[in-house]
């Protein structure tokens, strides 16, 4: 095992896949000369040249469409959005072109493409740059959605996404790039899409979550343990396809569950997960499943208000105590 940052794990995954498959290329704003806005593509231009590490103009709709077209003709583009908030300018290409082409062509035209970049809030970037974008993309059939929370998951899932024959939205936590963790030293380390991971075993309550919030969940679980509560933390990692079996097995074991997500509650990811749990594991629940989310407001700029709006350890503990009737 090697210890590396989330950023370095992503860089290593890109490097290995570019070396393995000459049809893979990276395109986006500042990915080449500047080494990426978050330095994920550091050193790749020097190694692979400007035909495979391509700086784009500030035109998300344009360069995303170019990537979609190239995927339809046999290449495997990785399109980087400086932030997934900017992807809204290109969502027509993602949802109306990439996601639907295989279906509308009766299986004749595929679109193996990865759309990647940071999602969610960082620190005081205000409303237009602080949105958790998962719900917009997970809603559409034809697009897979992956949200890794650790360096190992970032590497293994990105490699799987690049090799996948379908469009994949790959969302990275904006505050995770400097987080360190162990990553297998293996050029062929791939984590299959649609497989959740139990990050912490427990018996009393299930905390379901994904992406950056896995770290909040683990911190809350540590504090709960001091109070005699043994929480199981399930990292979904992939929201589409979704590992329903692991979710249900955990809930059937603990009989109580909460869903933690960075986005808003209204029609959020947690609403879908809650529906699945209620439909498939209702007889095993000893309390209604609860959701912990961002406050139902655009993200404030003021630091004190931003902290209040974000879901945190305190909110998770309160929800756990509520489903345990404590």
| Positions marked active-site | 60, 129
Q: Which of 202, 95, 206, 195 is nearest to 148 (CA)?
A: 195
Quick check: 19 and 164 in contact, CB under 8 A?
A: no
Q: Which of 120, 141, 116, 117 is nearest to 129 (CA)?
A: 120
To 5 degrees, how large is the angle CA 133–CA 135–CA 136?
A: 75
To 5 degrees, how large is the angle CA 198–CA 201–CA 204?
A: 120
Quick check: 7 and 39 in contact, CB under 8 A?
A: yes
Q: How far apart are CA 192 and CA 259, in angstroms?
A: 23
Name the DSSP class of 195. -
> 219 burial class (0-12, 13-18, 19+ CB within 10 angstroms)?
middle
Q: Which of 40, 141, 131 is nearest to 86 (CA)?
A: 131
């Amino acid at each position: 095992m090697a210890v590396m940052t989330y950023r370095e794990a992503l860089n290593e995954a890109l490097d290995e896949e570019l070396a393995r498959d000459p049809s893979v290329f990276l395109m986006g704003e500042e990915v080449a000369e500047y080494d990426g806005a978050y330095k994920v593509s550091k050193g790749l231009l020097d190694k692979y040249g400007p035909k495979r590490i391509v700086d784009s103009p500030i035109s998300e709709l344009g360069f995303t469409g170019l990537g979609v077209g190239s995927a339809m003709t046999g290449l495997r583009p990785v399109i980087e959005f400086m932030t997934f908030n900017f992807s809204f300018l290109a969502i027509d290409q993602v949802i109306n072109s990439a996601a639907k082409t295989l279906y509308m062509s009766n299986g004749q035209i595929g679109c193996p493409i990865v759309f990647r970049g940071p999602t969610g809030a960082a620190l005081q970037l205000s409303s237009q740059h602080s949105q958790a974008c998962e719900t917009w993309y997970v809603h559409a059939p034809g697009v897979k959605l992956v949200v890794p929370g650790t360096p190992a998951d970032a590497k293994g899932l990105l490699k799987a996404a690049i090799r996948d024959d379908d469009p994949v939205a790959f969302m990275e936590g904006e505050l995770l790039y400097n987080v360190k963790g162990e990553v297998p030293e293996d050029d062929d380390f791939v984590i299959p899409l649609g497989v959740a991971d139990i990050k912490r075993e427990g018996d009393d309550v299930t905390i379901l979550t994904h992406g950056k919030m896995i770290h909040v969940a683990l911190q809350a679980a540590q504090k709960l343990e001091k109070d005699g509560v043994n929480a199981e933390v399930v990292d979904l990692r992939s929201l589409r396809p979704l590992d329903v079996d692991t979710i249900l097995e955990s809930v059937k074991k603990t009989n109580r569950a909460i869903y933690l997500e960075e986005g808003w509650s209204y029609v959020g990811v947690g609403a879908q997960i809650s529906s699945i749990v209620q439909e498939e594991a209702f007889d095993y629940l000893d309390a209604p499943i609860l959701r912990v989310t961002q406050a139902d407001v655009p993200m404030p700029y003021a630091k004190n208000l931003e902290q209040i709006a974000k879901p945190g350890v305190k909110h998770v503990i309160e929800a756990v105590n509520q489903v345990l009737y404590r």
